[in-house]
Amino acid sequence: MEEFVVRGQNKRSPANDAISPRKKIKLERMKQEEEEEEEDEFSHPVPWQKIEAEGLDCDYALLFSKEEADHLLKQLEEEVVYSTGEEAKVQIFGKVYDIPRKQATHGDAGLTYTYSGVARLACPWTPTLEYIRDAVTKATGQTFNFVLVNRYKDGRDHMGEHRDDEKELDPLCPIASVSLGAPRDFVFRHRDTRGKRTRRQIEPVKLELAHGSLLLMNSPTNTFWYHGLPVRKKISLPRVNLTFRRILLDQKKRPSVDSQQGTSD
DNA sequence: CATTCTTCAAGCAG
DNA sequence: TCTGCTTGAAGAAT
């Protein structure tokens, strides 16, 4: 089954289930030994859960207490200014639709984010975004130069299945997804199981992303698995999601390594 | 050169 | 009703 053990540790807890009784998700509690990284301000190491499937490798943890997450969400609701007008629309089949959520992009000076073929300049970091970014770095050892903020005002707001596979992303850097506000279901689906002609039988992997949680999507997850945030009409409260990324500084194609397909621009 | 893959929210079926 | 799978065009990739 799971032939992909990307990380070094191999202990497995019994199968667990996040939201669906028929879905089994392998969870692994990473031991707190070999913690040379815990010295700083994180007096208690983050208890990670490993989520694995064929070609999928994620780590999930509660990064912030409820009190701190409440505070961070409140701050973000005051600080973040979301795109409006043309930037809040998407064109499909020549028809223009409103994006069913709100988006903002922040990052180091000069970085751009491409959505639906349009590049947008990153706004400067805000104090709260910097604070969360640094907390993620302390918990993961990874550094990030960009964050995409998605705000889902209620359960009608959503995001369709996609991969974060852009060429300008550092392919070896995980994408770190911080969730604040209403818990929402999150679904991974293997690319070989999508569409009319399904080639393989691979079960989707479903999670619930909690208030204050951090989900790390490690390589090669975004090569093989789509992810989406489905509509959940019973949810009436907002959720704000931050996906921290590392964008390559030289926009040129990397000469070495992979020959995996990239996405369009 | 032909076939497959890609984008995304809307539409629709169960 | 709500949820989740399929639809649909056309350029890019292989």
> Is strand B within 7 Å of residue A156 (CB)?
no
Residue A227 is assigned to a ligand binding site: yes
Q: Please enumerate in sequence order all residues whose Cβ is within 8 A of that of A145, keeping only pairs 6 or more positions apart, or say none.
A: A107, A108, A111, A245, A246, A247
Interatomic distance A197 CA / B2 C1' (Å): 19
- Does A71 fall in a domain? yes
Q: What is the pLDDT of residue A94?
A: 65
Q: Report in angstroms the alpha-carbon separations of A164 from A2, A39, A98, A116.
A: 23, 32, 21, 13
Instruction: Tell which wins on pLDDT, A40 or A169.
Output: A169
**What share of chain A has pLDDT > 70, as a percent?**
74
Contact A48, A59 (CB under 8 A): yes
| Model pLDDT for residues A46-59, shown as the tens digit of each residue | 799 999 999 999 99
In a domain, A213, yes or no: yes
d(CA A136, CA A177): 9
* Domain presence at residue A24: no
* Strand duo A175-181 + A213-217: pairing: antiparallel
Mean pLDDT for chain A overall:
78
pTM for the structure as a whole: 0.79
Give the count of domains, chain A: 1
**CA of residue A135 to C1' of nucleotide B6, angstroms:** 35
Q: Token pair 């223009």 is at which residue?
A: A96
Contact A215, A186 (CB under 8 A): yes
CATH of the domain at A237: 2.60.120.590
Q: What is the pLDDT of residue A86?
A: 75
Domain coverage including residue A130: 53-251
pLDDT in tens, A116-127: 667 778 999 999
Is A140 among the domain residues?
yes
Q: Between vectors from CA A243 to CA A210 and to CA A171, what angle results, nearest 5°?
A: 125
- β-bridge mates for residue A176, sequence order: A216, A244
In a domain, A101, yes or no: yes
Among protein residues, the one whose C-alpha sits closest to the C1' atom of C14 is A261
The residue among A152 and A13 whose pLDDT is bigger is: A152
Is A20 inside a domain boundary? no
- Decide if A25 is inside a domain: no
Strand B at less than 7 A from CB of A256: no
Q: A21 falls in which pLDDT band (50, 70, 90)? A: very low
A265 lies in a domain? no
